[in-house]
A and B are shown apart, each in its own frame.
Chain A
């Protein structure tokens, strides 16, 4: 039953999670994602699931770990400062190889920052705010439809890789309304089936098997190194299998934008504005931020004069853009911060300025 519905982004994310088979949500209110928590408080119980309003984001990520080690399909959401509180949890969950889907409706920072949209969690998401060698798989939708399409895949990837997946949305996507088609509902896993599907989960030994242990501490260095290398093999596999991106108009471009999330849509408007002035602009839109689509940059023809990273941050994606460009092009930043959305004319103006720059 794929009907088109007009939904607010936050509510659509929550509904998509339920339709992906999630039955456990642990949340703490934080703007601009509160509709997710509220939606889950109303709807998850009706779907046979369990909702807990946690006492903090630290408690929420801990409850999520608990639900997931017990074999549950868990979804949590927060926004930038709350995600900051969860960093220890992410490192812990990656080290214990537990599946989880996290949604960040990012807002302006740093600190308490702004309740308006931002994209300044790029470092936090892709470089890891927690300790140690680990990665979240990070996907950045640029429409509500893309977000709800990614949701079931996020759960599938999380369970296949036994690694948390982050959907990095922003306050624009969370608060806007769009007509969307929701994914087909996937039935929830029955509790009695958990030991078969997830033999590592904590379900009680029934005195019929050795006890399962979920652990993160390894006092013997050789053991920990083996563990890290074993987990790293998953990340190498992800770099081959989980890269997602979109390109527009690279072939005859003079200038190429790199933008993700809502900013990519604004950038497409800027591309149209530049076209009216006879400037050909293309776009690389990363969808996977980790693993980052460096390979997309190989498609930029040598005739391109400049690459512009368009972000609602002070250029957190530029390091990856530089790696992708491998020194072939000058790179500059088109940015607004503080919760201000950049506009197509501003992007176009920054692009023209970049074109005036010699290599």
Chain B
């Protein structure tokens, strides 16, 4: 009798308060699976963002702290100075990282900080009830763009992976998606590589994870996966933008 899949012990037993079909549950689990498989659960410190996943520390079985909005990369920088041998990650949504936190993420990448950032891009502000995110698509209806996002008012959506890939200190940059089991498995591989980059202290590693927000998109969870595939991927192409030779 062989176990094909069991819930990682990196995930605490507490049931999440995330919406049905919210892919936070998947991305949380992937990160914890990778850390468990590498034997790093006891050596890891995580920084939760402001956003729905402020609750992440209820579910992730590693030392964690909450952060002020957008500041997780600076907080992780401080943690890294005091705990040079630990694995450190930040887990951030699109408001946290691509809006208020753009300064902090750019400078963490610029300094080549030796931690990993997981960027949950679901093209909307979830926790606050569905406002436009910097990553919301043109024409996307949100509570602050009820007629659809207009380029002349709000600009075009920001591609954080491409932006950070231009910075030398960011040595591993990949964009993945969670819209199908095959893509979820690819996402896990990217997370594995990102953590390896950190283990080898090669520089800043970044994984952008295209995710759904069924509640605020106004779709059921299955339709939300389709919407992601049909609308987000053409604008946010999947793939690795940068990878150091040591982990290829």
Contacts and interface: CB of A to CB of B under 8 A. Distances in A.
A84 interface: no
Interface string B46-62: 01000000100100111
B45 interface: yes
Contact of A204 (B47, B60, B75, B83): B83
A66 B63 contact: no
Contacts of B67: 62, 65
B44 interface: yes
Contacts of B44: 204
B65 A69 contact: yes
Contacts of B83: 70-71, 191, 202-204
Given A88-B68, A205-B62, A215-B57, A65 B45 contact: no
Interface in B57-92: 57, 60-68, 71, 74-83, 86
A48 to B, nearest CB: 12
A328 B62 CA distance: 58
A191 B74 contact: no
B82 A62 contact: no
Contacts of A26: 77-78
B82 A191 contact: yes
B82 A70 contact: yes
Interface in B101-138: 103-104, 107, 111
Nearest to B40: A204
Interface centre among A60, A67, A88, A96 (most CB of B within 10 A): A67
A101 to B, nearest CB: 14
B42 interface: yes
A205 B42 contact: yes
A54 interface: yes
B103 A56 contact: yes
Contacts of A217: 54, 66
Given A58-B71, A59-B71, A65 B78 contact: yes
A66 B41 contact: no
Contact of B103 (A52, A55, A74, A212): A55
Most buried by A among B44, B63, B78, B81: B78
Contacts of A70: 45, 78-79, 81-83
A337 to B, nearest CB: 32
A1 interface: no
Contact of B77 (A56, A63, A213): A63
Central interface residue in B42, B43, B62, B77, by most chain A CB within 10 Å? B77
Interface of A: 24, 26, 50, 52, 54-56, 58-60, 62-72, 74, 88-89, 92, 96, 191, 194, 202-208, 211-217
